[in-house]
Amino acid sequence: MEKIKVTVWNEFRHEKSNVTAKGFYPSGIHALIAERLNQEPDINAGIAALDDPEQGLSPEVLEQTDVLTWWGHAAHDEVEDKLVDRIQKRILEGMGLIVLHSGHYSKIFRRMMGTTCLLRWREAHEKERVWVTLPSHPIAAGVSPYFELANSEMYGEYFDIPQPDEQVFISWYEGGEVFRSGCCFNRGLGKIFYFSPGHEVYPIYHNQEVQKILVNAVRWVKFRGNGSVFPFLGAQIKIPLETIAEKNYHSAPIDHPN
Ligand code: ZN
């Protein structure tokens, strides 16, 4: 069986500087997620971090990645624009992208959405109740109608994203806010899933329902391209399928760039 190749990318800064984050994720959030994904027989997950050579994502690594997962927070601006260009191109060619928690404000997510991706937030260790809003969706397979995280960072509406193609989860918070916490998008040949739980000072990626969602999401967004962004026909169709009747119409020629 051909395994789904996942690259679990992490900024990997908080887990070095914050003792609580380090306690829950001694080798980093990415290491825990990759370890969990690798328990699945059809998934082969590797890790990458911002401070690795080429920011963890060389052209070779990206070329071999079917699914990229992204966790970032404090250093979004350090991600090089040319890397964002390469990730975008690879998504349009069919690579899946899973954006986690504060990755909502990453360069790549904002690029793929085209909006500010701003949201409301509060850090009060409050309860989050995650509701399934599309039980037929593969990402919700096996997930209970709702589950609770005892402590979470509140992410609230309005969340400035385009209307998701599919809304799989909505969260409610102890303080009263709601949030579109699980959103699916199609961009080019690629699929994108945004999932908001995952603040670094809580053991959220240890939660079994969250882990189930990540495994499901990998399978749902997995690479579905065929090597080209616009593969079906050339852009300019010189020879039509049917004969077009000659028209007695003359216009000045337009210069085309190609
Ligand atoms: Zn956070």
Any domain includes 52: yes
Question: Distance from the CA of 107 to the center of ligand 1, in angstroms?
Answer: 16
pLDDT tens column, 69-107: 999 999 999 999 999 999 999 999 999 999 999 999 999
Question: Distance from the CA of 215 to the center of ligand 1, in angstroms?
Answer: 21
pLDDT tens column, 32-67: 999 999 999 999 999 999 999 999 999 999 999 999
Any domain includes 101: yes
Question: Distance from the CA of 39 to the center of ligand 1, in angstroms?
Answer: 26
Task: Provide the token pair at 9.
Answer: 């990318």
Any domain includes 250: no
Judge if pTM exceeds 0.85. yes
Separation of alpha carbons 58 and 86, rounded Å = 9
Question: Distance from the CA of 196 to the center of ligand 1, in angstroms?
Answer: 9
Any domain includes 233: no
Number of compact structural domains in the chain: 1
Any domain includes 258: no
Any domain includes 141: yes
Q: What is the pLDDT of residue 255?
A: 83
Question: Distance from the CA of 5 to the center of ligand 1, in angstroms?
Answer: 27
Domain hosting 37: range is 4-221
Any domain includes 226: no
Separation of alpha carbons 151 and 202, rounded Å = 7
Residue 116 is part of a domain; what is its CATH number? 3.40.50.880
